[in-house]
Chain A
């Protein structure tokens, strides 16, 4: 899987022991970042989180926080909960992390959910750009806006934005100037077509 997908795990527990342990274990997961919180209210410091979010919390915490979380994290695509079970009896479920689960099992369960996010969104793990994406990239590097690109290709602005997102996911490059650089290096555009001083 490519790690350019924006997948954050938020672990919530009052116990530093639990949080620190989870942090170490989740280094083996495919998440792009792990955020540790003592209380759900602290999420207020992360209003701009986007992409996919997996929240690990005890079931009591989840019940009282579900609504609150959805109010704060308005720019996220996907929010999923997993239950942290911190008493000694285990529940055999892929949605539950038990106190005595082995690190490998915890990562396995977490990665299963992460992969389901990603594959439900787009199936290709291919890093080659499609013909359409190349067209969008070419216009982008010439300085056209999303709206102008949409008009030229006879598609909606929404489609252009979704192409741009896929381009960034496939190449791992997010900024417009970085994409121009990529396009030149990959010979998708010719330097003489653009004024590199303006775009880079």
Chain B
């Protein structure tokens, strides 16, 4: 498996793995970059070169585990990226899923209970998912940013510990696997247990989009679990050592 580096031409990166398109968008890049290398583009746009390279590699290759230097990024950069990912889910991927599932269900012959069930299950999943990412944006990310601010300026410590007396990043970890389970259940039910009288092409289009969502979400969780959370744990340890 080939990994990318700063001298890779971005055009050939995309040829090799087009699922990186939304990822480079989130990092602030649109198509039309000619023969420029990753380094050229990042310099032009003022994007952190290491962060760019590590992020596309994490997405591209599931066995890739970023080196320790990844922990050197400013945490605000990681959070900024994660928020853009959430935006992409909320503004594009989920509405697109909604559209495709409606097409699929309305084309499947009998407006029967099965269709209604799939729709309900999907809607419920979606609602929970949006609650989950909103929670991260409203509670978890601000917590992390404030924690980071305390490490940079220990004077803020008292206010921080008052605000979050018993808060720790570990409490967020379980939530994740829960969402992954439900996503698994949804694809499983459609693949294994849906009655056979459905519209194949629209079913495939819906599933293709759902799988894309699944893949993106897994990588999103990997960035949170392997980059964000270890970094926050580091900060938490530092905070304790100040006491």
Q: Indicate if the CB atoms of A185 and B114 lie closer than 8 Å.
A: yes
B229 — nearest CB in chain A belongs to which residue? A45
A80 to B124, CA, bound (A): 39
| Chain B 178-221 residues near chain A, CB threshold 8 A | 178, 181-182, 184-186, 188-189, 192-195
Please measure, in the bound complex, the distance between the C-alpha atom of A177 and the C-alpha atom of B181, giving whole angstroms.
11
CB < 8 Å neighbour of A174 from B65, B185, B192, B194: B185
Judged by a CB distance under 8 angstroms, whether B171 is at the interface is: no
Chain B contact residues: helix, strand, loop or mixed: helix
Is A81 among interface residues, defined by CB-CB distance under 8 A? no
Name B170's closest neighbour in chain A (CB-CB).
A47
CA distance A58 to B181 in the complex (A): 33
At the interface, yes or no: A200 with Cβ under 8 Å from chain B? yes
Q: Which residues of B contact A19 (CB under 8 A)?
A: 63
Q: Within B214-243, which residues are at the interface with A (CB < 8 Å)?
A: 225, 229-230, 233
Taking the closest CB of chain B, its distance from the CB of A42, in whole angstroms, is 9
Q: Which residues of B contact A171 (CB under 8 A)?
A: 188
Residue A20 interfacial (CB < 8 Å): yes
Q: Scoring A residues 168 to 184 as 1 if CB is less than 8 Å from chain B, else 0, what string do you get?
A: 00011111011001101
Cα of A197 to Cα of B124 in the assembled complex, Å:
9
A137 to B108 CA separation, bound complex (whole angstroms): 28
Report B-chain residues with C-beta under 8 Å of the C-beta of A178.
121, 182, 185-186, 188-189
- Quick one: CB contact mask for A156-200 with B, threshold 8 Å, 1 for yes? 000000000000000111110110011011100001000011001
B-contacting residues, A14-46, CB 8 Å: 19-20, 23-24, 34, 36, 45
Contact A181 B117 (CB under 8 A): yes
Q: Considering only CB atoms, which chain B residue lies closest to A191 in the complex?
A: B113
Interface residues on A, range: 20 to 34
Q: Which residues of B contact A196 (CB under 8 A)?
A: 117, 120
A105 at the B interface (CB under 8 A): no
* Alpha-carbon separation in the docked complex, A199 to B113 (Å): 15
Contact (Cβ within 8 A) B113 A175: no
* Contacts known (A178-B121, A196-B120, A200-B124); A45 close to B185, Cβ less than 8 A: no
Determine whether the beta carbon of A24 is less than 8 Å from that of B63. Answer: yes
Distance A48 CA – B89 CA, assembled complex (angstroms): 27
Chain B residues positioned under 8 Å from A181 (CB to CB): 117-118, 121, 185, 189
* CB-defined contacts of A182 to chain B, threshold 8 Å: 189, 193
- The CA-CA distance from A175 to B188 in the complex, in Å, is 12
> Do B188 and A173 touch across chains, with their CB atoms under 8 A apart?
yes
Among B63, B113, B195, the residue within 8 A (CB) of A23 is: B63
Residues of A within 8 A of B17 (CB): none
Contact among B63, B113, B184, B194 for A36, CB-based, below 8 A: B63
**Could you list some 30 contacts between A and B, CB below 8 A?**
A19-B63, A24-B63, A45-B229, A45-B233, A47-B170, A48-B173, A48-B174, A173-B185, A174-B181, A174-B184, A174-B185, A175-B178, A175-B181, A175-B182, A175-B185, A177-B182, A177-B185, A178-B121, A178-B188, A178-B189, A181-B117, A181-B118, A181-B185, A182-B189, A185-B114, A185-B194, A191-B117, A197-B120, A200-B120, A200-B124
User: Which 3 A-B pairs rank lowest in CB-CB distance, beginning with the nearest?
Assistant: A178-B185, A23-B63, A174-B181
6 additional contacts, CB 8 Å, given A47-B170, A173-B188, A191-B113? A20-B1, A24-B63, A45-B225, A45-B233, A181-B117, A181-B185
